[in-house]
Amino acid sequence: MQHETPPLPGLPLQKAFLPPEATLVAVGTGAERWTDRAADRACLAPSSAAPGLDAWCGPVGPRQIDWLILDGCGDALAVLNGAADLLRLRRIDFLQFDESEAGGQLATLYARLQANGYSLFRFADRNLEFRGTPPEDGRGGTHMAVAPRHWNRLFARSQGMFRYKDLFPRHGVVPRGIIHVGAHEGEEYANYREAGADRVLFVEADPATFATLQARFAGNSDVVCLNAAVSDRAGRARFSRMSSRQSSSLLEPTGHLTVYPHITVDEVIEVETRTLPDLLASNGLAPEGFNVLAIDAQGSECRILTGCGDLLARFDAVVTEVSYAELYEGSGLAADVDDILFAHGFDRVAETSPYHHSWGDALYVRRPG
């Protein structure tokens, strides 16, 4: 007699919340069943001899875990202890475990996850319910922790990027002047003014888009517009002009073509690249007039930040687009942006991904002291 294989717990949640290209990581004696048939998606399973997820990620595994499954791990709290850095940095996007994995420590698990900014849900009887506290009704079920960057996309009534009027005061940022690299047509201007910024420098690489930007702010003495492609060095580079201009980039699109197949390369032009310090100096702009750096440059974030060098020390905050999967060739991921800014005295304090799992914005503020 053939026995029907029981369904994998939480599978409907993964199908609802994860894009097909996202990867699962399964820990425990039940990991093999996920690697065998996990909803037709890739699944990694650390060796049982691995010292912990913090030690495994990076050297062996991914630096960002899309979805972590605890299945027969024996001690869920021990797994969280071994993933303390991943949780602190919110590099685990979703974490799933059945109540039986808690070992009687469900309240402790909830508290540990909530202390790192995660929201908790229970999936039982085909219903997903938000849980501010662990349930005590004995119904069991699958528990899911969700990193804060996903809340706006999955559970909010409306989606949108950061609103700086609310975000900056929450983290002690008082904007005097803002440098925005990758300005497009200056859509963020009202957002910056609402937050109290007195001066804005918009930098746009595409000459055609820059013409629209410059015309829009002609006569506005609070705004300076420069046509330049900012990178980590001076030189010449190919620039992919996309059918949706906000997706144009110094880097060749890769995963972006899968996530947004309707956005294609219209043409490739050649542009001159410069570092941000050189751009300011050659235009007679004193760095002291700006204390916030904003980057929306479609994969060039790491190159722009590297090219800033000592200029980064002058900023109180950096808000930048970050990627959690490679959307442009050689772009670097959110963890790579972390590496650069952490080394220059910043902490990452907020993230949001209101439109897609693979990218979003992150706010970094200067570390006290």
Q: Please, which pLDDT band fits residue 157 given cuts at 50, 70 and 90? A: confident
Does 124 score more than 90 pLDDT? no
pLDDT digits (tens, 9 = 90+) for 167-192: 999 999 999 999 999 999 999 999 99
Q: Please, which pLDDT band fits residue 1 given cuts at 50, 70 and 90? A: very low
Residue type, 25: V
Which phi and psi angles does 14 have, rounded to 5°? -65, -40
User: For position 38, what pLDDT does the model report?
Assistant: 56
Instruction: Give dist(CA 146, CA 268) in Å, integer.
Output: 39
pLDDT digits (tens, 9 = 90+) for 11-55: 888 888 999 889 999 999 999 888 876 556 889 999 877 789 999
Domains and their CATH numbers in the chain = 11-146 (3.40.50), 164-366 (3.40.50.150)
Instruction: Give dist(CA 105, CA 326) in Å, integer.
Output: 37
| 8 Å CB contact between 17 and 154 | yes
Average pLDDT, the chain: 94
Count of CB atoms situated within 10 Å of the CB of 54: 17
Among residues 350, 291, 345, the alpha carbon closest in space to that of 320 is found at 350
- Give the percent of the chain with pLDDT over 90: 83
| 8 Å CB contact between 95 and 116 | no
Quickly tell me which residue has 């200056």 as its tokens: 186
Instruction: Give dist(CA 92, CA 161) in Å, integer.
Output: 21
Q: What's the mean pLDDT in 262-279?
A: 97
What's the burial of 137, exposed, middle or buried (CB within 10 Å: 0-12/13-18/19+)?
exposed
User: For position 42, what pLDDT does the model report?
Assistant: 87
Q: Please, which pLDDT band fits residue 138 given cuts at 50, 70 and 90? A: confident
Quickly tell me which residue has 């294989």 as its tokens: 5
User: For position 243, what pLDDT does the model report?
Assistant: 94
pTM for the predicted model, two decimal places: 0.95
Q: What's the mean pLDDT in 203-230?
A: 98
Q: Please, which pLDDT band fits residue 125 given cuts at 50, 70 and 90? A: confident
Q: For residue 293, what are the β-bridge partners? A: 179, 318
Alpha helices, H only, the chain:
11-17, 31-37, 53-56, 76-81, 84-88, 106-115, 151-154, 164-170, 189-194, 207-216, 255-259, 276-282, 301-308, 334-343
Does 130 score more than 80 pLDDT? yes
- Token representation of residue 156: 């909010």
User: For position 6, what pLDDT does the model report?
Assistant: 64
User: For position 140, what pLDDT does the model report?
Assistant: 87
Residue type, 208: A
